Amino acid sequence: MYAGGRPNRWARFLNRISAMVFSLGVVGHGAVSLETVNPKSRTLLTLPLVVARYEGSEYAVSMLGQGSRWVRNVRAANGNAVIHAGRRRPVLLEEVRADARAPILKAYLAQAPGARPHIPVDLSEPVAAFESIAADFPVFKIRDV
């Protein structure tokens, strides 16, 4: 459903439904809707996301890598976004350095089973195995504004 790192029509449909359900805050397990704004068209992008929890902090991880639209939008907006899970929560997403992402990526895979096909390291591998792919998968620390 994500050939070439882009969602096909079916995935886009499922993402819309999931984003609506996740925004209600009834799913739990870190399921949220992430809202970003396209800097050129000013259109709102809302998508479902599983927030990773690691060492007491929350992280947004791009399972599709550097080319994800939400990643580009967040970078263009200097990290400003909104998380919606029962209530709207303005947040600042601060990008984590690539050399600090490996343990967060491993924790993310444990918490987001749907991401496992997209990240080329198995959950059972040690944290060191994630270091070789960490630069390819953006991770953002979530801070309340």
Q: What is the pLDDT of residue 126?
A: 97
- What pLDDT band is residue 144 in, cutting at 50, 70 and 90? very high
Question: Which long-range contacts (C-beta less than 8 Å, at least 24 apart) are formed by 29-34?
Answer: 29/111, 30/58, 30/111, 30/112, 31/85, 32/83, 32/84, 32/85, 33/83, 33/84, 33/85, 34/60, 34/70, 34/81, 34/82, 34/83, 34/84
Question: Residue 122 is part of a domain; what is its CATH number?
Answer: 2.30.110.10
Strand (E) or helix (H) holding 12: helix 9-23
* Residue 39 contacts residue 81 (beta carbons within 8 Å): no
Q: Give me the mean pLDDT over the 95-109 stretch.
A: 98
Number of domains composing the chain: 1
pTM of this structure: 0.86
pLDDT in tens, 39-79: 889 999 999 999 999 999 999 999 999 989 999 999 999 99
Q: What is the pLDDT of residue 135?
A: 98
Sequence length of the chain is: 145
For residue 100, the 8-state DSSP code is G
For residue 52, the 8-state DSSP code is E
pLDDT in tens, 19-50: 766 677 666 678 999 999 998 899 999 999 99
Q: What is the pLDDT of residue 117?
A: 86
In the predicted structure, residue 142 carries a pLDDT above the cut 90: yes
In the chain, the percentage of residues whose pLDDT exceeds 70 is: 88
Q: What is the pLDDT of residue 74?
A: 97
For 10, the domain range is: 3-144
